Every structure is written in structure tokens, then in C-alpha cells.
Structure 1
Amino acid sequence: MRALLQRVSEARVTVEGAVVGEIGPGLLILVCAMAGDTQAEADKLAAKIAKLRIFKDDAGKMNRSVLDTHGGALIVSQFTLAADTSSGNRPGFSTAAAPAEGEALYHHFAGAVQAQGIAVATGRFGADMKVALVNDGPVTIWMET
């Protein structure tokens, strides 16, 4: 699985003008299931993200996790993280999981993050979503299993 994390002060996702997911301080997690990914990989990624120390402590150092700060996670499916831009000018997405498999892993991943003790909001798989965020830092981190 691939994930792009953004530390945020707030974030929300809307579908057809309606807010479907929203958080205050925490993480916006853009996630893509790749062909061949498993639930075990989703679980491992969720556990790693929950403990990743990218929030400031009292001394201003990135020493606290989203768990430590009691932050939330807005998890948005984004198959374009599978983009292959190695040739031509149009990205290819053949390495992304098939839609049904990707959706199942997306929901499993969101549940795995929630099982870590993090309040989770989500987008809507396969929808045309509008994502708004206030990036805190900015801190943006790429992760892959």
C-alpha cells in the first residue's frame, strides 16, 4: 500500500457539495492499494502511521504521534498514487489494485487505523471528491509497504 500523510490543523472532504468526512488537528492520509496488497500490509501500515512521531512536543521537536496528540485521521482513497510516469506524458495506473480489491483494502485500512485508537473520518471510495486542508508545517510524508 502507498500512503501520503499530511499533518493538518483541519481537513475535510466533500462529495457533490456535502461534507462526508472532516477532522480537526491530525493527519490527512491519502491511500492507494496496489495490486497484490494484503490486509496484513494494511494493518502494518496503520500501526506504523499511528506511532509515527511527526507532531511537535513542548520543545518544538517532532517527537509525538497522532495517538499522543489525540488527533484524528481523515482517510481518502487515491488510486493516482499508483501513477507510473516512466514513459510518455500520460500516467498509467495498472499497478493499482482492481477497484473491488482496492475498496475492500481501503475500508480495511480505515478500520485498522481506528483500531489503533484514532478517530477516523473517510472520503467516499470512487467518488469525485474535493479535499480541503490546512497543512501544518508543512509536514508531508510518503510511506509504502
Structure 2
Amino acid sequence: MNEFFDLDATDLLLLDLLQNDAAQSNQALAARVHVSPPTCLRRVKRLHAAGLIERQVALLQPERVAALVGHGLQAIVEITLERQGVELLDAFEARAVQDAAVQQCWRVSPGPDFVLVTHTRDMPAYLALAQRLFTSDANVRNVRAFFSTRRAKFDPRVPLA
């Protein structure tokens, strides 16, 4: 992003509204921020081009999806590496983010080196993930998994106060 890129109140409002519902029409969005539809479209394109909007996705309702395809197995996994050289941290991170079962990958400190949020079909699929990412990597010293029993809150919004 350009260091001279300025966000005004309209840009911040657009970002906030899009975080809540990115599927609304340009006309509806323009009306909510009190600008013309062409101005609104131009601003949203500029926010995309600046990299402030990473991507637009549909958030699925887990309970309704589970009724159709099953719950699967969600886990929060702490990973501690034996050696934490930058190249070793980068190598593990690269492998983790490439695996489709890894929904989120966080490099953290202090404590473990990584926290992963994973979603697999069932326990055998989780064990296969563990083999791919943890067991086969000689630099992985410790793995601690916590299996989700209920999601109380999930909100991907970035506060823009």
C-alpha cells in the first residue's frame, strides 16, 4: 500500500459496511455512505487496489452446514519447534498454510511458536494431518491439540474505531 494513501471517514465507513455485508449492491452501499454510486464504486475499487480489502467470501453457518454434511472436527493446535531460526519458522509456516485443513496459522510469542486452527472431516483425517505436518517434521518438538466442542463466537471483523 502506498504510504501516502489516506483514509477519510467515508472510506472507513465503506470498509466497516463491507465487513458486515460485502454482498450489498453498490447502489445500496452508496446510499448508506451518502455518495453517488459511481463515486462509491471508485472508492471500493481503490480500497481493493490498495490491498485493504484482501478478498470477499461467504461465511457459512456451521450448524446448518453440519446438518447437511456433518460437523467435522475442529482443533486449535499449539506447535513448538525444537529450533526457531527464521528459515525454520518460515519453512514450517509455508507447509502449514499450504494444507487445506489449516484454516488459520498464527506465529505467536511467548509460548508455542505457532497456533493453528484446523478443520478435518473426522479423527482419522486429523491424524493424517498430524502425520503430514507434525510427526514427519523432525524440528517439531511439541504438539498440543484442543478439540472444539462448541463455537461461542466467531467474528472476522477488524475494529475500525
- In the superposition, the TM-score normalised over structure 2's length comes to 0.25
RCO comparison, higher one (Cα < 8 Å, 6+): 1
Larger Rg: 2
Q: Which structure is higher in helix share?
A: 2
